[in-house]
Amino acid sequence: MATNRTFTMLKPDAIENGYLGKVLDMIVGAGFEIKAMKYTRLSEDEAKKFYEVHAERPFYGELVEYMTSGPIVAAILEKDNAVADFRALIGATDPAEAEEGTIRKSYAESKAKNAVHGSDSDENAAIEGEFHFNAAEIF
Ligand code: CMP
């Protein structure tokens, strides 16, 4: 059964390019409630651990380097059908393939610098949320 929470990160390119406010506006405007939020920068160890599932992929090193290159915003979001609805809002991994009106179509630079992360399952949403937030930081 689908749960009602997902996890997101606004990635370094979105912050660097000045899209923090615009992306948050799209997220809230689409009906997601912010349950937790943090402006932070991932250490190399944190980025490696967060993306451990991609460790064997050829882009892993580039991904870790990029995700530690500047600040990010991490957040837990709540809405009915959160995981699927959020993935629809952000669009395909590669912005060239993302639909009009999606966050990545509007604000992402490339497949690697793709502006925003969205959990791919309820299970990963819970794991990723717990990676970044303790119980006292979730409202
Ligand atoms: P995301 O889906 O949030 O999590 C995995 C990330 O790996 C993905 O976003 C991209 O930022 C990155 N990624 C996926 N495929 C590639 C690729 N072919 N080259 C570089 N980065 C990639």
Q: From ligand 1's centre to the CA of 136, what distance in Å? A: 31
What was the pLDDT predicted at 1?
A: 55
User: Contacts by 47-51 with C-beta closer than 8 Å and gap 24+?
Assistant: 49/131, 50/128, 50/131
- Predicted confidence at residue 2, as pLDDT, reads 64
Report which of 92, 87, 91, 94 is spatially closest to residue 109, judged by C-alpha positions: 94
Closest C-alpha to ligand 1, atom 4: 117
Residue 3: per-residue pLDDT = 74
Ligand 1 within 6 A of CB of 93: yes
| pLDDT tens, per residue, the chain with 139 residues | 567 999 999 999 999 999 999 999 999 999 999 999 999 999 999 999 999 999 999 999 999 999 999 999 999 999 999 999 999 999 999 999 999 999 999 999 999 999 999 999 999 999 999 999 999 999 9
Domain assignments of the chain as residue spans, ordered by start: 5-137
- H helix or E strand, kind and range, residue 39: strand 33-40
Identify the architecture of domain 5-137 in CATH.
2-Layer Sandwich (3.30)
pTM, two decimals, is 0.96
C-alpha distance across the termini of the chain, in Å: 23
